[in-house]
Structure 1
Amino acid sequence: MPWIILKICCFTFLCLVIPVDVVAGKVDFNRDIRPILSRNCFHCHGPDATHREADLRLDIVQGLKTTDAAALIHPGQPSQSVLFERVSSKDPDLVMPPVDSGKKLKPAEIDLIRQWISEGAPWSQHWSYIKPQPVKTPTVKNQSWPVNWIDNFILSRLESENLQPAEEADKITLIRRLSFDLTGLPPTPADVKRFVDDTDPRAYEKLVDRLLASPHFGERMAIYWLDLVRFADTVGYHGDQDHHISPYRDYVIDAFNQNLPFDQFVREQLAGDLLPEPTLQQKIATGYNRVLQTSHEGGVQRKEYLAIYAADRIRNFSGVFMGATMGCCQCHDHKYDPYTIKDFYSMVAFFADIDEDQHLKRGADRIPTIREPEIFLYTDQEKEQLAELESRIKAIEIESKSAEQKEEKQQLKQQLEKLKKSREAINRSALKTMITVSIKPREIRVLPRGNWLDETGPVVQPAIPEFLGTLESDQDRPSRLDLANWLSDKEGYGPLMARVMANRFWYLFFGRGIAPVLDDFGGQGGPPHYPELLDQLAIKFLNDQWDMKQMVKFIVMSRAYRQSSIESTEQRTADPFNHWLNRQARFRLPAEMIRDNALAVSGLLVKEIGGPSVKPYQPEGYYRHLNFPKRKYVADTDESQWRRGLYVHWQRQFLHPMLKAFDAPSREECTAQRPRSNTPIAAMALLNDPTFVEASRKFAEDVLRNGGKSDSAKIEYAFSIATSRQPEKMESEVLLTLLDSNRTAFSQKPQAADALSHTGLAKTNSKLDLIELAAWTEVARALLNLNEVVTRN
């Protein structure tokens, strides 16, 4: 039976890995077995028919279990199943995976396969393609613990594992956690005192409501959304020139602040231009379709780059809205999921009407580059000036037609040229943004192997993936608006998109998703640790009419969210990765928030909402390799440099070094989950980046003026501003020692104190003693470097 040997060889080529949350009892196919098959088998025995080996497909039940006597698996009989025979073999010539593969199954992994077969080898469809179904809320023994049904699901699992949830975090930790999670900013001392002193049983809920109503809520949520849609201020490819897109960022901020229903949020971004009489904001929203990477090199091939843009768009669309990796289908059927190459290009066809290649006809190595279609966004004053200019231009043009004298015509011509120059000057200074304009759709063909030169593939029309059904449309050709409506339709993809987004909301407030891979709900992603809970959150999101603030409030109101993040040895041993959620997570703040926190603590932060991107200080010469055109980074010298990190100019090829040091993405692709590294470079950025040095100096000024008369009082004041709590005795002693050592050092080198105290980046009227200011600046630098200050607990 050589063909069976081939099947088993490919089936077990990579080692099997047991999920850490497998519990005693029955094996669950989706949780325990499917991930093993996907990682190790589907590449050769999955959905991709072109490259399938031995005519064996293991992602469907017919491939795993047949009535054939030579079937891989005989349910209930592991000893009669060829699969188990080969993976458990001791013969180096027979064991699978092969010895020379470098893979070897662990005994526990072999036992898992045996157990699954013994239990009848039950199969089920992939969990992410099954619509969420309501389930009964679990009952719990400790009925006083749950605040809402999230807690029932968590506590029920913990009780079944004989585990206890963590204690509720103290009030100071809770207000700091909520403030960072909901606004991205630390609480003020007054905020902390008000919450700590509030004995009202609803004090916590009142805090949640106040933070959700803050205009900074939209900024915090926008940071994440802009990662998803790969928002940046530059084109990415070749010269990485600037383009006009910042008003789209303002639209996102406003949408979260106004609690725009998520389905409408999606609809306006994908197809705002196709809505009946679209508003200006809905047109701006369509900037989503234009923020992909583009090339402005003079020699680019139009067809090649339109194919590149199409692939970029479908990678992002599927990752953001579907939690899918359809980009894998650009060249062939998906190796692990049921998407086909035809599905990929049928999805491309939805976007074939976007007028996006004008820059390929009139590309320019200029800053900013040409990315038409764009619209002007005039201020009220600019609108009045333009109206007056247009009226005068029109009048002079009429007068010119009737003028008879040559001298009179010349004078009118000069006046007309002057007025037009004034109009051009207003247009040059006015804010612009890229938008989507629908034109006649271009023909879309399947590109065999993704080859843009190969025109032998069939022409396709807009269509959703075949295994997900068909798309209803009132038009002969389905539009982007039809696609957007399908995404949020309760009878369409809506329940599945709700699950994807519910998982991301959870990630924002627990540090990781219920399903661990936020942008891949397919075979290569991981199964959810609390599948029933995730489904109920998705159903709630739908039933609440896609209310984003209500979803956020429901999660952060839960007792699970309020748990302490301090873990015991027992908790770490029983659940090292906190999959069962018997404690909260602690993690370093995102890059933008680290910067915002330092500016807020120091008093430098400018809290203005919206507007163009800003350029804070960065190392000299960092842009020296940027060409086409050659450019030099010019930092802002006014208060703009102290604005939130959300507004920092996002140069894809040369991201601001501070943001890069703290793992902010270049935003060339969808980033659903940022990495969290711990490097010396990050520590050096906190100490030496000019923004942090200036924040420390201004913080020191505040401490010297308002911290009290004694050093001890000043230390307590500074520490409480930075951490929202009073220092312990040991902490005070260490900081006082640091202060004294720096006083001594700066007394011996007063020129160093003078240099540190007069950097000139932030305005100051300081008449403070320079040595004292320099010494306290060093203390402030130490405080801003504390793990507690840059960590969300």
Structure 2
Amino acid sequence: MPFFSSNNSAIRLGVLLVGLQAASGVRADNGPAAPQFNRDIRPILSDSCFSCHGPGTQEAGLRLDSFEGATDWAVIPGDPDASELMARVTSADPDTRMPPPESNRPAVDADAAAKLHSWIAGGAAYQPHWSYLPLQQVPPPTATDTAWPRGPIDQFILAGLEERQIRPSPEADRETLARRVYLDVIGLPPSTAELDAFLTDNRPDAYERLVDQLLASPRYAERMATWWFDLVRFSDTVGYHGDQDQRIAPYRDYVLKSYNENLPFDQFTIEQLAGDLLPDPNLWQRVATGYNRILQTSHEGGIQDAEYRAKMLADRVRNVSEVWLAASLGCAECHDHKFDPFTQRDFYRMAAFFADVDSYNSFEPVSSNTTPTSRPPEILAWTLPVYEQLQAIDAEINEVLGQLTGEIPGPRATAELRAKLKKLRHRRVEIEDHFEPTMVTAAVEPKDVRVLSRGDWMDETGEVVTPGGPTSLKAPLSAGDERLTRLDLARWLVAGESNPVTPRVVVNRLWKIYFGAGLTKSLIDMGSQGDPPVYPELLDWLARDFVASGWDLKHVVRQMVTSSVYRQGSAPRDELRDLDPQNRWLARQSRSRLEAEQLRDTALQAAGLLHHQLGGGFAKPYQPPGYYAQLSFPERRYQASQGTEQYRRGVYTHWQRQYLHPWLMAFDAPTRDECTAQRPVSNTPSAALVLLNDPCFVEASRSLAARALSELADDASDGARLRWAWREATGRRAHEDEIDALTNLLARHRDHYAAEPEAAEQLVAVGQTPRPDGVDAAELAAWTSVGRTLLNLSETITRD
């Protein structure tokens, strides 16, 4: 059906749910707040209108994402009753109502129509998209309650709650608060000893001291690395075809090192995108460029070079735009974006930044593949444990050299010093033998990048473009004949004031970690299809503060987790169930199931099995036999890690893209084919069965049981052991009814395994951990059942 009739040009309006916004947004006397375009109108237009009348498509010549386009004839500012937009979206005639049914776009309901009416009546003011606006310098508001806020974050949230006549929730008890902040900051619950140390610390700043201690822990980096690896789609395998292993582990160590040393986020960005283009880059800066190499590639001998070059360029554009800009620029690969102001030319100009690394040979990692290809550019990089050994050796060498030259006072015994120096240098050579190859970016002469008609890599007729970012974001443009580089791109992404998008994206994603949802729920697409922030002034304040701090991530994390908002209890409140069912106003803390890696780490810690080695290669947890049967080119058989390697944290798990480990899959970890800013949370029978039957969790249950039997006094009662085990698993003391239930469970399983000795032997044989001496198999099996129950409690696998 045509959008407008031939005899009525005013009907051009069509699906026009234009992006309305009465600019002020203040209340008029006692009336409702005037609609704001970004908050109230843009979402309506984006959902119902932009697909046909937006930046990418203008059917019937109508464009509703700009004031000029909408007011050409469809919207009459100040007169909604005479505006064709209102006539069309409220029409009862299916032949004239917009959007038409065949568009598959949501109709404008009565509430949305009322907002549009009010917006047009107020002048139909438009705004640029909120995420592209300069960061607003808004001072924190002053709330009526001056005692509750501990800082600016609390002032913003409390002012919003008081406006809605809502009180924040009481502070969580200290056990809950400690477990929450441990899980959020380092990804692990506190041990009983750590918990007791906090509970008995009566200093006024005990909690702040605990936060500082956690931020200084090397475990903090392991927590943050998991978040980053989801974003940049880090994997140990190539993804396509045979999904072979690739040499990339030192990049993981670079990320861990960067987080532990609190490398400023702007430098972290620059080194990954363009470390090889820095003047005289050091080894770690070159390792950082492994970021450009962890996209999906193929080892298949017959692939088309041009096809995979196009695939990899597109992959890079998608990832860079999603990681740093939360923008769906990838949608413009085949045509102009339908909802956001990104053109197809923008897409390929962004791709041209990577034309100097996108040669086929530079993406062929070393593996058992026999396809004759060139050796990739790679360097020898040490893993973190080796790096630390090397640092210690170098410190000793420098000290001896200082003594030999007289710069450092010491005994003048020259022969002994020279012998020691020789020994140290020999040891250094031995350590260097442990260096590991890794993929890095090596810049080559850039190849031509063309705008591909509908993304067709075989079409060579399109315009050749040079590097440049989206013009709508004021991205860098070429100056004269000088070609822009990846270094220019990286510096623009973290330009701060001149690119407000990146700091907003980062602090919003951090907010999600610590509060359950971002200030805008749209973590990967902050464009027109995204969700406006619930506290926009707070989001901008956080982004400005992040940039002003020197892009200091730990500073932002500390601001968030020391706030009163963060410390609230998480119990649902009856009066808010209908008013704020998703807890967007933050009148309480949130609850969430632990992520896949945290679930396993928590179980291993309770079992006393977790091995704390920072950095190094990947680990392979137990996996069902034959799970890799379909993998070929080459065929392979999974070999689970042995010894302490089996009990390393989940961040080191071997990430097989095509065959993600079943435990990771059951708990919603991504395959990492693409950027993942938010993992889904499902509730399936498979997940429950993994917690009950995965050898890792069974072995952890058995080890927890063995601890309960061996770490308490020989004459300890069942009740004492059950109370101890409960606290080890959940972080709190058990109630008597809970102990009664466990006592009954223990008695039933004692009887069962006493009558079924073979079943007991089978259960206690799961895993590599040896059975403790002198413990009856039936008794250990019964306690293992208790352990399995404890590790399956909702309380154990839930953040709060």
State the TM-score, normalizing by the size of structure 1: 0.89
Deviation per residue, 1:559-580 (Å, 9 max, x gap): 1011111111112221001111
User: Aligned partners of 1:360 and 1:225: how far apart in 2?
Assistant: 22
Letter in 2 for 1:460: V
| 1:206-221 map, 5 Å | 206-221=209-224
User: Which residue is equivalent to 1:200?
Assistant: 203
How far 1:430 sits from its partner (Å)? 5.2
Residues 604 and 695, structure 1, Cα contact 8 Å, conserved in 2: yes
Aligned counterpart, 2:78: 76
| Map 1:595-674 → 2, pairs under 5 A | 595-674=600-679
DSSP-derived class of the 1:432 partner: strand
CA distance in structure 2 between the aligned counterparts of 1:599 and 1:338, rounded to whole angstroms: 48
**Residue type matched to 1:660 in 2?**
M
- Distance, in Å, in 2 between the alignment partners of 1:284 and 1:101 is 48
Shift in Å, 1:443: 1.1
- After superposition, the Cα gap between the structure-2 partners of 1:101 and 1:436, relative to the gap in structure 1 and judged at 3 Å, is closer
Contact 1:356 1:373 in 2 (8 A): no
Q: How many residues align?
A: 738
Alignment of 1:281-680 (within 5 A): 281-354=284-357, 356-358=359-361, 366=369, 372-377=376-381, 431-469=436-474, 470-471=476-477, 476-493=482-499, 495-680=500-685
Q: Which residue in the other structure is 2:794 paired with?
A: 787
The 1:667–1:736 alpha-carbon spacing in structure 2 relative to 1, beyond 3 Å, is same
Q: Distance in 2 between matches of 1:197 and 1:276?
A: 52
Query: How far apart, CA to CA, are the structure 2 residues paired with 1:619 and 1:362?
Result: 28
State the Cα distance separating 1:12 from its structure 2 match: 6.2
Structural mapping, 1:101-116, within 5 Å: 104-116=107-119
Using the TM superposition, give the Cα deviation of residue 99 of structure 1 relative to its aligned residue in structure 2, in angstroms: 5.6
Asked if structure 2 preserves the Cα contact closer than 8 Å seen for 1:300 and 1:360, the reply is no
Query: Counterpart in 1 of 2:188?
Result: 185
More deviation in 78-87 or 718-727? 78-87
Q: CA deviation at 1:100?
A: 6.4
Contact 2:349/2:469 (8 A) holds in 1: yes
Contact 1:692 1:781 in 2 (8 A): yes
RMSD over equivalenced CA pairs, Å: 2.5
Alpha-carbon separation, structure 2, partners of 1:435 and 1:634? 28
Q: Tell whether the 8 Å contact from 2:317 to 2:330 is kept in structure 1 after alignment.
A: yes
Q: Deviations over 1:153-208 (max 9, x none)?
A: 10111111111111111100111001000100110111111111111110110000
Residue in structure 2 matched with residue 777 of structure 1 by the alignment: 784
Offset from partner CA, 1:648-699 (integer Å, 9 cap, x none): 0000000000011000000000001111111111110000000000000000
- Which of 158, 161, 164 is equivalent to 1:158? 161
Q: Does 1:168 find its partner at 2:175? A: no
Residues 57-78 of structure 1, C-alpha deviations (whole Å, 9 max, x = no match): 1111111123xxxx21222222
Aligned-partner SS, 1:54: helix
Per-residue CA deviations over 1:612-669 (Å, capped at 9, x if unaligned) read 0011111111111111111111111221011001000000000000011000000000
What is the CA–CA distance in structure 1 between the aligned matches of 2:695 and 2:375, rounded to whole Å?
34
For the pair 1:757 / 2:767, whether they are aligned, the reply is: no
Change (3 A) 1:5 1:370: farther
Question: Unpaired segments of 5 or more residues in structure 1?
Answer: 14-21, 385-424
Aligned 8 A contact 2:365 2:376 in 1:
no
Match of 1:39 in 2: 47
Q: Which stretch of structure 1 is more off in the superposition, 474-483 or 616-625?
A: 474-483
- 1:448 to partner: Cα distance: 1.4
Number of the residue aligned with 1:712: 719
1:374 partner amino acid: E
- Aligned residue identity for 2:632: N
Shift of 1:272: 0.6
In the alignment, what sits opposite 2:66?
60
Other structure's SS at 2:38 match = helix
SS at match of 2:78: coil
Please state whether the residue corresponding to 2:212 is helix, strand or coil.
helix
CA distance in 2, matches of 1:237, 1:656: 17
* Secondary structure in 1 matching 2:160: helix
CA change 1:107–1:377 in 2 (3 A) is closer
Bigger drift between 303-312 and 522-531 goes to 522-531
Matched residue, 2:92: 90
Offset at residue 240 of structure 1 (A): 0.4
Is the deviation greater in 81-90 or in 212-221? 81-90
Per-residue displacement from partner, 1:532-585 (whole Å, max 9, x unpaired)? 100000000010010110011011111101111111111222100111111111
Q: Secondary structure at the match of 1:588?
A: coil
Q: Does 1:690 align with 2:695?
A: yes
Given candidates 120, 130, 134, the residue that maps to 2:133 is: 130
Q: 248, 251, 255: which one pairs with 1:252?
A: 255
Q: Which moved more, 1:81-90 or 1:583-592?
A: 81-90
Change (3 A) 1:189 1:108: same
Instruction: Give 1:356 shift.
Output: 4.2
SS in 2 for 1:753: helix
Deviation at 1:110, TM superposition (A): 2.2
Say whether the 8 Å CA contact 2:75–2:83 is kept in structure 1: yes
Q: Is this contact kept in 2: 1:195–1:203, CA < 8 A?
A: yes
1:143 lines up with 2:143 in the alignment: no
Provide closer, same or farther for how the CA distance between residues 323 and 378 of structure 1 changes in structure 2, counting only shifts above 3 A. Answer: closer
**What do the CA deviations read for 1:364-390 (whole angstroms, capped 9, x no partner)?**
762999871112236879x99xxxxxx
For the residue of structure 2 that corresponds to 1:57, the secondary structure is: coil
Counterparts of 1:189 and 1:473, CA distance in 2:
61
Distance (whole Å) between structure 1 residues aligned to residue 96 and residue 468 of structure 2: 46
Structure 2 gap segments, 5+ residues each: 19-26, 391-429
Q: State the secondary structure of the residue aligned to 2:737.
A: helix
Q: Contact (CA 8 Å) 1:88, 1:110: kept in 2 or not? A: yes
- Matched residue of 2:438: which SS? strand
Distance in 2 (CA, whole Å) between partners of 1:361 and 1:551 is 39
Q: Secondary structure at the match of 1:266?
A: helix
Distance 1:339 1:356 in 2: 26
* Structure 1 counterpart of 2:578, one-letter code: T
* Aligned-residue offset at 1:760: 4.6
* C-alpha separation in 1, matches of 2:215 and 2:738: 34
- Deviation, 1:7, is 4.0
Q: Deviations over 1:196-247 (max 9, x none)?
A: 1111110110000000000000000000000000000000001101000011
TM-score w.r.t. length of structure 2: 0.89
Is the partner of 2:437 in helix, strand or coil?
strand
* SS of residue matched to 2:733: coil
Does structure 2 conserve the Cα–Cα contact (< 8 Å) formed by 1:165 and 1:563? Answer: yes
CA shift, 1:41, in A, is: 1.4
Q: Contact 2:49 / 2:99 at 8 angstroms: preserved in 1?
A: no
**1:427 Cα deviation from its structure 2 partner:** 11
Match of 1:734 in 2: 741
After superposition, the C-alpha distances for 1:587-613 in whole angstroms (9 at most, x for unaligned) are: 001100000000000000001100000
Is the contact made by 2:382 and 2:434 (CA closer than 8 Å) also made in structure 1?
Answer: no
Distance in 1 (CA, whole Å) between partners of 2:546 and 2:765 is: 53
1:243/1:371 contact within 8 Å kept: no
Question: What is the CA–CA distance in structure 2 between the aligned matches of 1:131 and 1:79, rounded to whole Å?
Answer: 34
Residue pair 1:355, 1:373 contacting (<8 A) in 2 also: no
Give a deviation string over 1:688-723, Cα, whole Å, max 9, x none: 000000000000000011245111111110011111
- Name the counterpart of 1:241: 244
The Cα of 1:302 is off from its aligned counterpart by: 0.2
CA distance in 2, matches of 1:545, 1:472: 27
